[in-house]
Structure 1
Amino acid sequence: MDGTLVDTEPYWMRAEHELVESFGGVWTHADAMLLVGSGLLGSAAILQNRGVELSAEEIVDTLTNRVQEQLASAGIPWRPGAHELLSELHAAGMPMALVTMSEQRMARQIASIVGFDAFTTIISGDMVQQSKPHPEAYLTAADTLRVDPVHCVAIEDSLPGVAAAVASGAVVVAVPHMVPIEQSEHYTRLDTLTGSTLASLTELYRSRRPALLSHPTTPKDATRA
């Protein structure tokens, strides 16, 4: 979600800076980059090490509240091509899951402003035991959609997210945003989602899963962002 569908990373960075500064600490851009794509509880530990004297749960609540305030006032800053791709997939009846390490209340806030009921399910950071790069969130999403993960396409923007998606067995599209992602045989890297369509994702899936496509019991495909 953050950085893949919507450009909320600046909102998170502003919230982190304000929080650390309120405790007399210093929060740099390099510090903020450490948290991109990570689970919120893990991020809270780093903020505590920078002098934030709150529990991990209080830090998560404070940051989430601040980001939600910015979303409410400034709206959703869509990443290029993201809304157009969601719209086409939804129109085609493609089952989709939103897999994010943000809290469910924020994920539902964003999902509610998409303009249509895009996601079959939402798997958020407060719904799993293991944060990305562990694949639990993606495996849970596939199970909820009643599909094998290898028949899914996952779209990610961060290193922990890409690692989680690859570990789940999905066909992975990496669209780097805040942090560079190198080319790899384990995923397909795109500079942007602009121009991405159901047809292009289908072609990518077929190129990555030729053996599975010849199997007579192939389950229904799904796409996750």
Structure 2
Amino acid sequence: MTTSLPAAVLWDMDGTLVDTEPYWMSAEKVLVSSYGGTWTDADGLTLVGKGLWDSAQILQDRGVDLSADEIVSTLTSKVIEQLESDGVPFQPGARELLAELKEAGVPTALVTMSIRPMAEKVASLIPFDAFDLVVSGEEVENAKPHPEPYLKAARLLGVDILDCVAIEDSEPGIASAVASGAATIGVPHAVPVAPRPDFTSRDTLAGATLAELSGILEAHRAARTTTTSR
């Protein structure tokens, strides 16, 4: 039996494509401490996968006397500065899989709750044109775990979300992708995510192939057909 290719592969960014969570945590610590507060790594982990404006409200509650927009701008600028000074820590296997998708002509989208300048900065440091479009945090009404970001990406690509594969690392992101109807691969990184039958778990993207993604999509379709026919 021939397994069809995904209509598109939709990628989360922070923690999935790149290991930028330490950069965000560092920026958060500097910002909170500048207002006399304390921010720990454990605090930072509670923000993994959240939308930036949701995170900004939490930082306001911890004493940061700035508007949500100012917090988002300040954190993003700090992370971009660190990307420029220290480089982009790509996750194992991510660029290799993106290159295979590109060669096969499979459309891709970067679906991130970071803002567009951050997403475009990361994408620009990949040595080929890896993404057909970007859906960023300021461009949706509802952040992950709501399915809107993934549904919007599929709509803009002109494909059916049910024919797409999404790759995520966090609980909010996985929830968003699963709720959208995409076949979802969870690659937990900064925060553990317990395996569940509604997504495929992977320890890393190292060794991941387009053939594997196509098989996951085929199994996803079969599971949906079985559920619908009951």
- 2:69 counterpart of 1:57: yes
- 2:211 counterpart of 1:195: no
Normalising by structure 2, report the TM-score. Answer: 0.91
User: How many angstroms apart in 1 are the aligned matches of 2:119 and 2:38?
Assistant: 29
Q: Deviations over 1:41-73 (max 9, x none)?
A: 000011011111111110000000000000111
Percent identity at matched positions? 59
- 2:164 counterpart of 1:152: yes
Q: In the TM superposition, what is the alpha-carbon distance from 1:102 to its structure 2 partner?
A: 0.1
- 2:173 counterpart of 1:161: yes
Q: In the TM superposition, what is the alpha-carbon distance from 1:204 to its structure 2 partner?
A: 1.2
In structure 1, stretches of 5+ residues that fail to align are 214-225
User: How many angstroms apart in 2 are the aligned matches of 1:192 and 1:75?
Assistant: 20
- 2:21 counterpart of 1:21: no
Which residue of 2 is the match for residue 178 of structure 1?
190
The root-mean-square deviation of aligned C-alpha atoms, in Å, is 1.2
The partner residue of 2:114 within 92, 96, 102 is: 102
Which residue of 2 is the match for residue 72 of structure 1?
84
Q: In the TM superposition, what is the alpha-carbon distance from 1:7 to its structure 2 partner?
A: 0.3
User: How many angstroms apart in 2 are the aligned matches of 1:29 and 1:210?
Assistant: 41
The AA in structure 2 aligned to 1:102 is S
The partner residue of 1:2 within 9, 14, 19 is: 14
Count matched residues.
Answer: 213
The AA in structure 1 aligned to 2:110 is L
Q: In the TM superposition, what is the alpha-carbon distance from 1:210 to its structure 2 partner?
A: 3.1
The partner residue of 2:131 within 89, 114, 119 is: 119
Which residue of 1 is the match for residue 53 of structure 2?
41
Q: Deviations over 1:90-139 (max 9, x none)?
A: 11111000000000011001111111111111000011110000011100
Question: SS at 2:167's partner residue?
Answer: strand
The AA in structure 2 aligned to 1:107 is A
User: How many angstroms apart in 1 are the aligned matches of 2:22 and 2:165?
Assistant: 27
- 2:147 counterpart of 1:135: yes
Q: Deviations over 1:155-199 (max 9, x none)?
A: 000000000000000000000001111111100010010110011
The AA in structure 2 aligned to 1:200 is E
Normalising by structure 1, report the TM-score. Answer: 0.93
